[in-house]
């Protein structure tokens, strides 16, 4: 078995670095609302998120990991420098957007980076349409389903509890939001938590360590722990943007946003659809805010977030292509 040890170690470290950055910018989405409503302290929320992210990845299979690892680009026509270029792309773009407190989609960065790097290495034939169909479905899940489920659920709650006192609603959903935040973290692990595990497993195949694509248990734990550490170290910027700047949230709004986003994400995960948890929870938060009144949502902040989303695909695809071309020329 021909194993390229040094290049493999470098690439695996880059995968873990990208997972760490994912903890900065994506994992905070799972806990932003429960912190902004002051139901849990930041450290309590981070600890809970780390635990349920790992559980989500452990208990929901590896269908999303398989889509990323062998469904976007053809593994048989790429090598480790393509994976390295994609991971470095994520690290660069996520760090830039994190600096401005903008939540971006690591899913889109990963897919765009892999695509650009794959195109540089092998041309258009490297792309797999079956995987891209799931990517397009993921856009619909995160945008339409996240927003609409939040609107439906909050309207139903308001109607069912229309005779209840505000104090009761606040206290009742303050307790329920602990469960919804745990569910959101679980759903994040079921989808986002799997993506870098898929890339890790892909690197093992490309280096000849394993003969077929498989996500070992130790990879699941390792990636989950690294993501949790990233959230603890740098997640507060994104939590502030999503939990405090986008719209004013009470526990009932946080519960609704987390529950509706979690349902959309878990549904996508079981179908092997990689979607953006950032998009999903952001759209759910905006859906909840819009039911109060349109002016309750700070659309300027939302516009900045959307602009970062739009830029992610072309920027990361271009950066992935450039880095893969440079690595190919040098090595």
pLDDT in tens, 115-164: 999 999 999 999 999 899 999 899 888 888 989 999 999 999 999 999 99
Q: How far apart are CA 63 and CA 223, in angstroms?
A: 16
Range of the domain at 134: 5-324
Contact between residue 62 and residue 197 where contact means Cβ atoms under 8 Å apart:
yes
CA 44 from centroid of its chain's CA atoms = 21
Rg for the chain, CA atoms, rounded: 19
Q: How far apart are CA 74 and CA 91, in angstroms?
A: 23
Contact between residue 193 and residue 269 where contact means Cβ atoms under 8 Å apart:
no
Average pLDDT for residues 295-305, to the nearest whole number?
58
Average pLDDT for residues 28-42, to the nearest whole number?
74
Q: Structural domain tally of the chain? A: 1
For residue 79, being part of any structural domain is answered with yes
> Highest-confidence range of 12-26, 54-68, 259-273, by mean pLDDT?
259-273
For residue 81, being part of any structural domain is answered with yes
pLDDT in tens, 254-281: 899 999 999 999 999 999 999 888 788 8
For residue 36, being part of any structural domain is answered with yes
Residue 243, pLDDT score: 47
For residue 331, being part of any structural domain is answered with no
For residue 329, being part of any structural domain is answered with no
For residue 228, being part of any structural domain is answered with yes
For residue 307, being part of any structural domain is answered with yes
Reported as a pLDDT band with limits 50, 70 and 90, residue 321 is very high
């Amino acid at each position: 078995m021909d194993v390229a040890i040094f290049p493999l170690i470098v690439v695996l470290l880059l995968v873990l670095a990208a997972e760490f950055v994912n903890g900065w910018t994506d994992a905070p989405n799972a806990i932003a609302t429960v912190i902004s409503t002051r139901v849990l302290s930041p450290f309590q929320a981070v600890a809970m998120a780390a635990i349920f992210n790992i559980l989500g990845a452990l208990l929901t299979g590896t269908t999303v990991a398989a889509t990323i690892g062998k469904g976007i680009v053809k593994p048989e026509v790429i090598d480790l420098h393509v994976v390295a270029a994609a991971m470095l792309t994520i690290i660069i773009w996520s760090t830039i957007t994190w600096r401005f407190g903008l939540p971006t989609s690591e899913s889109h960065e990963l897919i765009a980076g892999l695509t650009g790097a794959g195109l540089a290495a092998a041309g258009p034939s490297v792309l797999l349409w079956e995987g891209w169909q799931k990517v397009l479905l993921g856009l619909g899940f995160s945008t339409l389903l996240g927003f609409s489920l939040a609107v439906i659920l909050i309207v139903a709650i308001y109607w069912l509890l229309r005779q209840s006192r505000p104090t009761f609603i606040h206290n009742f959903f303050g307790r329920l939001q602990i469960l919804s935040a745990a569910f959101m973290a679980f759903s994040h692990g079921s989808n986002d938590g799997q993506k870098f595990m898929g890339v890790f497993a892909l690197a093992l195949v490309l280096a000849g360590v394993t003969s077929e694509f498989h996500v070992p248990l130790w990879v699941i734990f390792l990636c989950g722990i690294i993501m949790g550490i990233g959230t603890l170290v740098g997640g507060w910027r994104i939590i502030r943007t999503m939990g405090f700047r986008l719209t004013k949230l009470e526990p009932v709004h946080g519960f609704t946003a987390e529950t509706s986003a979690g349902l959309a994400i878990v549904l996508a995960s079981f179908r092997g659809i990689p979607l953006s948890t950032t998009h999903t929870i952001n759209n759910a938060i905006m859906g909840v805010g819009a039911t109060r009144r349109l002016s309750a949502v700070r659309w300027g902040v939302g516009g900045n977030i959307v602009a970062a989303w739009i830029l992610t695909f072309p920027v990361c695809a271009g950066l992935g292509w450039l880095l893969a071309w440079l690595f190919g020329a040098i090595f």
